[in-house]
Amino acid sequence: MRILGIDPGIAIVGFGFVDKQGSKVIPVQYGCIQTEAHTPEEERLLHVYEGMKQLIEKYKPDAVALEKLFFNRNVTTAMTVSQARGVLVLAAVQSGLPVAEYTPMQVKQAIVGYGKAEKQQVQEMVRMFLKLQAVPKPDDVADALAVAICHAHSYTLNSKLNEVLRR
């Protein structure tokens, strides 16, 4: 199963493709889609959407996992990032892909085992888990890979639970 993890944003969208093979999670490709500051918002959203569509077509994931947005201060930023998240979900759904969402706390719990882990702990665990030479940069990329790993673990658990419940 190939999973696309996404850390939504308007300036930087982190993405990470991983393959779930048995109990292993193997990195396939990761990086980010960036938009230029001071570019009209609608152009930035189009760039994010088209970039994601191209990645989906090239790497053909079976599922998409996104980090749920959490903002406690800047409403303007929240609205802009929400719009970017919307075009990312649209790209996935138009491609016929199921979309799962995870809170930052769920991702941290899945990666580190502690829902209030520090960002650096999560990034280092992503590096170790995927056997990478270095922590992926920018931070949004490591976050996207963490979401993909979280989904790989959650999907396996949910599949087993559903199997038991069907009996």
50 is catalytic: no
Residues 6+ positions from 13 with CB-CB distance below 8 Å: 6, 7, 32, 33, 34, 48, 51, 52, 84, 88, 140
**pLDDT tens per residue, range 115-127:** 888 989 999 999 9
Burial of 133 (0-12, 13-18, 19+ CB in 10 A): exposed
Q: Which residue ranges make up the annotated binding site for Mg(2+)?
A: 7, 67, 140
Residue 140 known to be catalytic: yes
7 catalytic? Reply is: yes
Specify the amino acid at residue 160: K
Check whether 44 has a pLDDT greater than 90: yes
To the question of pTM greater than 0.85 for the whole model, the response is yes
pLDDT reported for residue 50: 98
Catalytic annotation, pick one of 42, 57, 140, 143: 140
Task: Summarize pLDDT for 83-114 with one digit per residue, the tens.
Answer: 999 999 999 999 999 999 999 999 999 999 88
Place of tokens 């903002």: 71
CA atoms within 13 A on the CB side of 112: 17
CA dist 137 and 155 (Å) reads 26
